Amino acid sequence: MGELHELGLGPLAGALRAGEVTPLEAADHFLARIAAHGDLGAFAEVTGEAARAHAASLGAPPADPPALWGVPLADKDLTARAGVPTRYGSRLSVEHVPDVSDPLALVLDAAGAVSLGKTAAPEYGLTGFTETRIGPPARDPWGPENGAGGSSGGAAVAVAVGLLPAAPASDGGGSIRIPSATVGVVGLKPSRGRVRSGSGMDSAHGLSVAGPIGRSVDDVALLLDVLVDGAVPYATRPPGDGPFADAGRADPGALRIGVTTVSPWEESMKIRLDPRARGAVDTAIGILDRAGHAVEDAPWRPTGYAPMFLALWQASAARIPVPDEALGELEPISEWLIRAGRALTSRQLLDALAGARAFERATITAFDAYDVVLTPALALPPRPIGWFAQDDPELSFRRQCEYAPYSSWVNVAGLPALTIPVETSGHPVSVQLVGRPGGEATILAVAAQLEAARGPLPWPPLG
């Protein structure tokens, strides 16, 4: 069978359901790997004793086990789990132990998963890097002097080195796709409203949604099926097709694929596309062209994006329940975003929301001719720890945009998007596939073609 962490989510779940591996054996295997790789900063909290007790209590597989029966997973440190410290990456919350679990944790419980703890996240998930004052930074296992991106940095690292078979995460401006591309795994941001337990409908313009990270297209598709969890009564998009696990194995037919390296941040700052990032796009174009797709440049010149998105991000931060008198205890960028958000006038917020709706309509219209849009995943290679200049909030925000200028616009438009490594000589380099509203199945199918042409994903040196 090989090492359990090398199986992937689907085969591991199958082995557990068949009784070939016990939940306790699986938990012990992944807990040992977590202990051996603690210097990568993937976990904010490890609940080994509780995980072993839960796994041991499961006994033999039931006659009709749920999809993830006995599978070791972990919650992002922004997801409350009853009885487990949930710190939100902040020293203001280091003593916080919730009494009630968030819906996302309950969905994973219902699917039969065994929680091993909490993966690391930056303070309140506000940044695209995972470096906090309450724990070690999440490190890129391909080069540990570099950070792993964020805000789901811990989850991406855990998947990259086999501390977890896959990971639930969340994405408000790239928080799944940025770290997944940084460390060379697959990350999928669903359409707004697709995932019942993390639909985005409680954030400004529905920016943040829950989604999966895995080492393969099959892994993220299977975990997406679990997260979707049936009908979505308050979805802005219909639940759509499924199971998504079938999508990656299906022939999508000949599609029309648009390509753009344009970023809406270019109006307000200089965006430099690294040659390897451009090369990964060219590699993907070649694969898709040989697969029979019609691949062409997609004309797109968005305007007015930067001030609109910044206002939305500030408004989202303003709702974080930190009293004004405690703001000085936050990390500088968190304090800056929250103070600015609370200073917004109602007119400014309404203008930003109206601008976001106009951007959503214009973007979907601009890409309507294409089944999938291909972009770079990141503009730059992984950045050294400390490069994002936490002590200078405006510089930090600008550097995050320069590093990942292709991410946040997808959240504003509410579209599904997936990042996948296509270059694996040396550090993996990824591209991004953006789908139509509700188009997860299509981008999974196209990603599977890229994956098949690329070959097996290598393990990082620290894996």
Structural element, H or E, at residue 157: helix 153-160
Residue 234 structure tokens:
């308050």
- The whole-number average pLDDT for the span 213-235 is 83
Query: What does the DSSP 8-state code read for residue 136?
Result: P
Residue 204 structure tokens:
């400004």
- Tell the residue number behind the tokens 């078979």, with chain if given: 165
Task: Tell me the pLDDT band of 200, cut-offs 50, 70 and 90.
Answer: low
| Confidence (pLDDT) at 390 | 85
Using an 8 Å Cβ cutoff, are 229 and 190 in contact?
no
Q: Which residue has the higher pLDDT, 198 or 429?
A: 429
- The whole-number average pLDDT for the span 261-283 is 97
Residue 397 structure tokens:
């925000």
pLDDT over 90 at 23, yes or no? yes
Q: How many helices (H) and strands (E) does the chain have?
A: 14, 11
Residue 437 structure tokens:
């509203």
- Indicate the burial class of 268 (C-beta count within 10 angstroms; 0-12, 13-18, 19 or more): middle
Using an 8 Å Cβ cutoff, are 43 and 117 in contact?
yes
Query: What does the DSSP 8-state code read for residue 359?
Result: H
* CA 354, chain centre distance (Å): 26
pLDDT over 80 at 418, yes or no? yes
The values of phi and psi at residue 384, to 5°, are: -60, 145
Using an 8 Å Cβ cutoff, are 246 and 395 in contact?
no
- Distance of alpha carbon 417 from alpha carbon 432, whole angstroms: 7
Which range has the top average pLDDT, 165-174, 198-207, 233-242? Answer: 165-174
Q: Report which of 12, 447, 440, 13 is spatially closest to residue 244, judged by C-alpha positions.
A: 440
Q: Where are the domains of the chain?
A: 4-304+349-454
Using an 8 Å Cβ cutoff, are 65 and 71 in contact?
no
Task: Tell me the average pLDDT of the chain.
Answer: 94
Task: Tell me the pLDDT band of 202, cut-offs 50, 70 and 90.
Answer: low
What strand order describes the sheet that includes 186-189?
166-171, 209-214, 186-189, 417-423, 429-435, 372-376, 256-259, 294-297
| Confidence (pLDDT) at 1 | 62
pLDDT over 70 at 60, yes or no? yes
Question: pTM higher than 0.95 for the full model?
Answer: yes
DSSP string, 187-248: EEEPPTT--GGG-STTSGGG--EEEEEESSHHHHHHHHHHHH-S--TT-SS---S--GGGGG
Using an 8 Å Cβ cutoff, are 339 and 223 in contact?
no
Strand partners, 214: 166, 186
Other Cβ atoms within 10 Å of 340 Cβ, number? 17
The values of phi and psi at residue 417, to 5°, are: -150, 150
- Distance of alpha carbon 18 from alpha carbon 71, whole angstroms: 13
Please report, rounded to a whole number, the percentage of residues in the chain having pLDDT higher than 70: 95
Per-residue CA distances from 322 to 239, 318, 326 (Å): 35, 9, 6
> Which range among 20-29, 226-235, 452-461 shows the weakest confidence by mean pLDDT?
226-235
| Confidence (pLDDT) at 242 | 67
pLDDT over 80 at 69, yes or no? yes
| Confidence (pLDDT) at 232 | 45
| Confidence (pLDDT) at 222 | 96
pLDDT over 60 at 231, yes or no? no
CATH number of 4-304+349-454: 3.90.1300.10
- Tell the residue number behind the tokens 């214009």, with chain if given: 362
pLDDT over 60 at 240, yes or no? no
Asked if the bond preceding 151 is cis, omega within 30° of 0, the reply is yes
* Dihedral sign, Cα of residue 178, residue 183, residue 187, residue 193: negative
Helix axes 103-110 and 217-228, enclosed angle (nearest 10): 110
- Distance of alpha carbon 190 from alpha carbon 188, whole angstroms: 6
pLDDT over 60 at 199, yes or no? no
Write out the catalytic residue numbers.
76, 151, 175
- Distance of alpha carbon 115 from alpha carbon 74, whole angstroms: 5
**348, amino acid identity:** Q
Query: What does the DSSP 8-state code read for residue 264?
Result: G
* CA 441, chain centre distance (Å): 17
User: What three-state secondary structure class fits 43?
Assistant: strand
- Indicate the burial class of 345 (C-beta count within 10 angstroms; 0-12, 13-18, 19 or more): exposed
157-198 confidence digits (pLDDT tens): 999 999 999 999 999 999 999 999 999 999 999 999 888 776
Per-residue CA distances from 111 to 27, 94, 114, 167, 226 (Å): 16, 29, 9, 14, 7
| Confidence (pLDDT) at 230 | 47
For 247-253, which contacts have Cβ atoms below 8 Å and span 24 or more sequence positions? Answer: 247/221, 247/440, 247/441, 247/442, 247/444, 247/445, 247/448, 248/217, 248/218, 248/221, 248/444, 248/445, 248/447, 248/448, 249/218, 249/448, 250/441, 250/445, 251/445, 252/371, 252/442, 252/445, 252/446, 252/449
